[in-house]
């Protein structure tokens, strides 16, 4: 009889424990990060009246006869289900989505505790603490590398109040841009200025400051509206500097004259040779008229006409007006040609483009590659017409135009009749055709410039495709300096690709070179024929601000990977900078902190920079239910929880962190209140067991009476 009483008592005790557990759950329904528990019941077996027997013969087996002595609570299970995430207005609040715990320490990292409650804040000393004053553990930014090393041992997270960041000198400039390789460009600038009398030809010339530069390959230049000349080898122009009229003097009846009208000095075209002998007894006038008639008979082919005056002076005129391919005339007079000795007055020389050489050719004809080449050959020939000491000058202006001047009146000076026509040769094996755009640019020079005149002759502008990019870089003091990069197209190789000159400059008094001018450095960029980057030079510049900052600051230039399209390219599309960046900055004060999903505390500074100051560590356990609670939303490690596996959020099974949010308690009130009813009914039933047993005992005592 007493067994039933003890069973009822044990039932009351078990349900009382369950009531305590469920009451605690309900009490913490609004506790941040709380995980509810449940009581696990088990029965008590104390007495066996008969053991089980096996079947024997015809007699069956018997089950054991056992009497239980009630129930007990043999374990508690903490349920670590995810609680709902509630947004807050506090940047330092953190909620864990998934498995894991924040690590906190009350003693500077000697012992660790763990929590899901992410209500953190900074105390007066800059410690990142929870509501218990325990300091969150993690990794701090290395002041040397500027990075947070999450493989290092964890430590207290502390961000000093009033934190400032020192200036970071620029170490790298990254540029992504396209330089237009097409025949039409929108970004261009005049060819470099080249002074008169300069004896330097390809590749050197001088700029407006007198500095040696490459004057640029005319073949890859553009006219005033951005249209490419696209000069091919041997294309060019005929240029003459004197009027195509000769007054050779009186012709005697006893002289012979032979004249050649050659389309090309290498091609003596049959039928263009005029050869006349004086007739016996002919007068001077008759002989002269015979010459004129013979020359004019072929004017339709040669473009050269002749006339004679009353003094028997023969005048020859090269009209250059014939539409045939032979209208470019090189007029040559044989020796003893009847007094016609002034052959140079009727001679036009060819100026032909050659992308690989600037050597002078035989017969006075010239080849050129750059603006400097063409300027020199033109000036040399213009001076040869009158004498070495004449004052004719030809230069390239700041606007990229050829400028011709004839200012003097010396013995060697002459009246200049500048005539330029297109060069073509349809009858040669290469069939050289006229380059109309180049010819049009040069034909603007056609003019008459008498000696000792203030008149000037200008060509149209010659322009190079250009593009520029600039960015502010920083020295060790945090001072800004504008680094400018200018690119100019200078040549094209049909097999390998194109080349662009590069001019890197900084404002004075800063320097980036050891030679004059110190604030400029020249280099080049080459592209493959598929538009990918081939190579560039220099790879870096040595920058000195000369303002008290550290000298010889090495700034790497990152323009992309060779043979790839991840940096600079050269396609047939508009020149444009798609991206430019640098890694330096000036000093600044901390103005705010935010936390990202990896638990990194990102500081925002008054200089506009943001970078990680620290990272919160997270721990994961093999058995979360084995953790013991200490109150204050804190858990501690036990023998059955396993060792903490420490790492960063969102890695190795650890959840990610949501900032400005808190994880709510996972207590479900509807479940908890229902559980209260179940516990109440169980408690009442066990109480009834006791009262019933008491009544039975009363009956038993009454038997004695």
- DSSP-based three-state secondary structure for 93: strand
**pLDDT number for residue 204:** 45
Examine residue 679 and say whether the peptide bond preceding it is cis (omega within 30 degrees of 0).
no
Q: Are 480 and 474 in contact (CB under 8 A)?
A: yes
Signed CA dihedral, 316, 319, 320, 322: sign only: negative
Q: Taking residues 676-702, what's their average pLDDT? A: 90
- Residue-wise pLDDT for 436-486, tens only, equals 999 999 999 999 999 998 889 999 999 999 999 999 999 999 999 999 999
User: Beta 101-105 vs 618-620: how paired, if at all?
Assistant: antiparallel
**Residue 406 or residue 192, greater confidence:** 406
Structural domains in the chain, CATH included, are 2-81+668-704 (no CATH), 85-166+589-663 (no CATH), 172-179+197-216+464-582 (2.60.98), 217-243+349-463 (no CATH), 245-347 (2.60.40)
Of 452, 455, 378, 451, which Cα lies nearest the Cα of 414? 451
- Residue-wise pLDDT for 564-574, tens only, equals 999 999 999 99
Angle at 225 between CA 219 and CA 227, to 5 degrees: 35
Averaged pLDDT of the chain: 85
**pLDDT number for residue 668:** 94
Q: Are 78 and 625 in contact (CB under 8 A)?
A: yes
Question: In the beta sheet, which residues pair with residue 236?
Answer: 352, 423
**pLDDT number for residue 381:** 86
Of 332, 326, 322, which Cα lies nearest the Cα of 260? 332
Indicate if the pLDDT at residue 422 is higher than 80: yes
- DSSP-based three-state secondary structure for 452: coil
CA-to-CA dists, residue 70 to 216, 682, 687, angstroms = 104, 13, 13
Confidence of residue 637 (pLDDT cuts 50, 70, 90): very high
SS (H, E, C) 549-581: CCCCEEEEEECCCCCCCCCCECCCCCCEEEEEE
Q: Over pLDDT 90: what percentage of the chain?
A: 61
- Residue-wise pLDDT for 691-705, tens only, equals 988 888 888 888 876
Indicate if the pLDDT at residue 36 is higher than 60: yes
- Residue-wise pLDDT for 337-354, tens only, equals 444 544 444 556 789 999
Indicate if the pLDDT at residue 390 is higher than 90: no
Residue 674 main-chain phi, psi, to 5 deg: -65, -40
**pLDDT number for residue 251:** 56
**pLDDT number for residue 268:** 32
Confidence of residue 326 (pLDDT cuts 50, 70, 90): very low
Count of other CB atoms within 10 angstroms of residue 359: 12
Examine residue 60 and say whether the peptide bond preceding it is cis (omega within 30 degrees of 0).
no
**pLDDT number for residue 577:** 97
As given in the structure block, the two tokens for residue 596 are 């990202």
Q: Quick one: the chain helix, strand, coil %, rounded to 5?
A: 15, 40, 45
Indicate if the pLDDT at residue 606 is higher than 60: yes
**Residue 44 or residue 198, greater confidence:** 44
Count of other CB atoms within 10 angstroms of residue 205: 26
CA 171 to chain centre: 15
- What is the crossing angle of helices 669-704 and 2-27, to 10°? 160
């Amino acid at each position: 009889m007493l067994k039933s009483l003890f069973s009822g008592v044990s039932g009351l005790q078990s349900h009382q424990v369950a009531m305590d557990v469920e009451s605690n759950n309900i009490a913490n329904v609004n506790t941040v990060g709380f995980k509810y528990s449940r009581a696990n019941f088990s029965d008590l077996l104390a007495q066996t009246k008969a053991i089980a027997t096996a079947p024997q013969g015809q007699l069956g087996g018997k089950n054991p006869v056992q009497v239980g002595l009630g129930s007990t609570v043999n374990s508690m299970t903490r349920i670590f289900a995810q609680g709902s995430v509630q947004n807050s207005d506090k940047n330092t609040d953190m909620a864990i989505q998934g498995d894991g715990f924040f690590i906190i320490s009350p003693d500077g990292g000697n012992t660790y505790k763990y929590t899901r409650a992410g209500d953190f804040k900074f105390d007066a000393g800059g410690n990142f603490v929870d509501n218990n004053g325990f300091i969150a553990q993690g990794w701090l930014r290395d002041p040397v590398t500027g990075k947070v090393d999450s493989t290092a041992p964890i430590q207290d997270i502390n961000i000093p109040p009033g934190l400032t960041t020192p200036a970071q000198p620029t170490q790298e400039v990254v540029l992504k841009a396209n330089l237009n390789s097409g025949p039409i460009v929108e970004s261009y600038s005049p060819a470099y200025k080249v002074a008169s009398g300069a004896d330097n030809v390809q590749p050197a010339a001088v700029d407006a400051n007198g500095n040696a530069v490459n004057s640029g390959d005319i073949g890859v230049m553009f006219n005033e509206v951005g249209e490419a000349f696209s000069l091919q080898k041997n294309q060019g122009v005929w240029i003459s500097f004197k009027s195509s009229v000769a007054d050779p003097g009186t012709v005697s009846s006893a002289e012979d004259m032979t004249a050649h009208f050659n389309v090309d000095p290498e091609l003596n075209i049959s039928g263009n040779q005029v050869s006349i002998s004086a007739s016996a007894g002919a007068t001077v006038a008759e002989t002269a008229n015979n010459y004129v008639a013979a020359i004019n008979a072929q004017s339709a082919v040669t473009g050269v006409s002749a006339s004679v005056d009353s003094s028997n002076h023969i005048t020859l005129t090269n009209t250059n007006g014939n539409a045939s391919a032979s209208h470019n005339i090189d007029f040559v007079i044989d020796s003893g040609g009847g007094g016609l000795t002034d052959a140079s007055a009727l001679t036009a020389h060819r100026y032909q483009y050659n992308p690989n050489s600037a050597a002078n050719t035989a017969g006075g004809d010239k080849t050129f590659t750059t603006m400097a080449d063409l300027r020199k050959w033109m000036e040399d020939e213009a001076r040869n017409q009158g004498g070495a000491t004449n004052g004719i000058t030809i230069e390239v202006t700041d606007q990229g135009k050829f400028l011709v001047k004839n200012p003097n009146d010396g013995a060697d000076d002459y009246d200049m009749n500048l005539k330029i026509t297109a060069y073509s040769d349809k009858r040669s094996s290469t069939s050289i055709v006229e380059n109309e755009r180049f010819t049009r640019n040069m034909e603007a020079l056609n003019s008459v410039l008498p000696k000792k005149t203030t008149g000037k002759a200008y060509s149209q502008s010659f322009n190079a495709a250009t593009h520029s990019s600039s960015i502010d870089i920083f020295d060790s003091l945090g001072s800004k300096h504008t680094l400018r990069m200018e690119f100019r197209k200078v040549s094209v190789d049909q097999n390998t690709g194109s080349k662009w000159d590069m001019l890197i400059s900084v404002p004075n008094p800063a320097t980036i070179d050891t030679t004059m001018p110190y604030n400029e450095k020249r280099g080049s960029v080459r592209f493959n024929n598929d538009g990918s980057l081939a190579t560039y030079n220099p790879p870096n510049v040595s920058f000195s601000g000369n303002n008290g900052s550290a000298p010889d600051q090495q700034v790497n230039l990152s323009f992309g990977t060779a043979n790839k399209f991840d940096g600079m390219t050269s396609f047939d599309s508009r020149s444009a900078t798609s991206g430019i960046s640098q890694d330096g900055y000036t000093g600044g004060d901390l103005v705010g902190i935010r936390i990202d999903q990896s638990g990194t505390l990102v500081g925002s500074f008054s200089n506009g920079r943001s970078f990680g100051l620290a990272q919160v560590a997270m721990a994961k356990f093999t058995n979360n239910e084995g953790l013991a609670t200490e109150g204050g939303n804190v858990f501690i490690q036990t023998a059955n929880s396993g060792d903490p596996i420490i790492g960063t959020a969102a890695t190795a099974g650890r959840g990610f962190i949501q900032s400005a949010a808190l994880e709510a308690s996972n207590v479900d009130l509807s479940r908890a209140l229902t559980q209260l009813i179940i516990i109440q009914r169980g408690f009442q039933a066990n109480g009834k067991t006791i009262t019933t047993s008491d009544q039975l005992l009363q009956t038993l005592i009454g038997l004695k009476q």
